């Protein structure tokens, strides 16, 4: 028997990827914390309604070092083993990434290494790409730059708008992220 890997999910907004991760929790991983840098994030309300432990703190006013120290403490208090970024829109500092090296993963709405950063769907359409998609990757100090753990592709359709493409990619994200996290968590499996 192995115990489920203890996963904290970091969000900044609606949290639809977080919901898909919660829905697929089970033998491979358990969600032990949902944390947000935006105390009014819609996804936080949903997590609270599910009875999940939550942590909400804005860096505004206290600064990034104090914010990250408090976040780090909350993650440790929850017994976190893996951090899953899910629409978390803040850059983690190099020292935070170093402390959790190899244990932070992220979902990005492009086929990395294409289109790191923002506006991925508009950039894919502008480039005339026939295929778009999403990637789950290990977080390193380089933005959207760590090892890719899994990808899913969707077609770019004629007359696609960024919003229409985003909707198609998001549906693929919701399938990809739980599948990759399950595999990743099993890879870290430890005796229970
Ligand atoms: C997703 O498209 C994710 O890939 C990107 O931000 C969006 C977050 O959506 N990083 P949600 O909050 O998970 O609904």
pLDDT tens per residue across span 51-98: 999 999 999 999 999 999 999 999 999 999 999 999 999 999 999 999
Ligand 1, pocket-test mutation among 86, 114, 118, 172, most atoms within 8 A of CB: 86
Does 133 sit in the ligand 1 pocket, CB within 6 Å?
no
Q: Which two tokens stand for residue 138?
A: 């290990």
pLDDT for 172 beyond 90: yes
pLDDT of res. 82: 98
Does domain 5-189 match CATH 3.40.50.170? yes
Closest CA to 133 of 149, 105, 109: 109
Helix (H) / strand (E) containing 145: none
| Structural Rg of the chain based on CA atoms | 16
Q: Which atom of ligand 1 is nearest to the CA of 16?
A: 14
pLDDT for 192 beyond 60: no
Peptide linkage before 154 cis (omega within 30 of 0): no
Does 165 sit in the ligand 1 pocket, CB within 6 Å?
no
pLDDT of res. 2: 86
pLDDT of res. 170: 98
* 132 contacts 176 by C-beta, under 8 angstroms: no
CA-to-CA dists, residue 156 to 55, 108, 146, 153, angstroms:
37, 17, 25, 9
Mean pLDDT of 38-57: 98
pLDDT of res. 189: 64
Q: What does pLDDT average to over the chain?
A: 96
pLDDT of res. 188: 83
pLDDT for 48 beyond 50: yes
Task: Tally Cβ neighbours within 10 Å of residue 162.
Answer: 15
pLDDT tens per residue across span 92-127: 999 999 999 999 999 999 999 999 999 999 999 999
Mean pLDDT of 8-16: 98
Does 12 sit in the ligand 1 pocket, CB within 6 Å?
no
Q: What's the pTM?
A: 0.96
* 129 contacts 147 by C-beta, under 8 angstroms: no
Helix (H) / strand (E) containing 79: none
118 three-class SS: coil
Q: Which atom of ligand 1 is nearest to the CA of 173?
A: 4
Q: Which two tokens stand for residue 160?
A: 């696609």
Domains of the chain, by residue range, sit at 5-189
pLDDT of res. 71: 98
Residues contacting 180, CB < 8 A, separation 6+: 105, 136, 149, 150
Q: Active-site residue 108, yes or no?
A: yes
């Amino acid at each position: 028997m192995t115990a489920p890997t203890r996963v904290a999910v970091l969000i900044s907004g609606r949290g639809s990827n977080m919901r898909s991760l919660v829905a697929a929790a089970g033998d491979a991983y358990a969600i032990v914390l949902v944390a947000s840098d935006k105390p009014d994030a819609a996804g936080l309300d949903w997590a609270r309604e599910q009875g999940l432990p939550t942590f909400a703190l804005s860096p505004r006013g206290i600064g990034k070092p104090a914010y990250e120290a408090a976040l780090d403490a909350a993650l440790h208090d929850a017994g976190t083993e893996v951090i899953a970024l899910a629409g978390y829109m803040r850059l983690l500092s190099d020292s935070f990434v170093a402390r959790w090296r190899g244990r932070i993963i992220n979902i990005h709405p492009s086929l990395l290494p294409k289109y790191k950063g923002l506006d991925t769907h508009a950039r894919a359409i502008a480039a005339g790409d026939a295929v778009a998609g999403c990637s789950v990757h290990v977080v390193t100090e380089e933005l959207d730059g760590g090892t890719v753990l899994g990808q899913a592709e969707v077609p770019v359709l004629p007359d696609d708008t960024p919003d229409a493409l985003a909707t198609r990619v998001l549906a693929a994200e919701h399938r990809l992220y739980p599948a990759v996290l399950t595999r990743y968590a099993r890879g870290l499996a430890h005796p229970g």
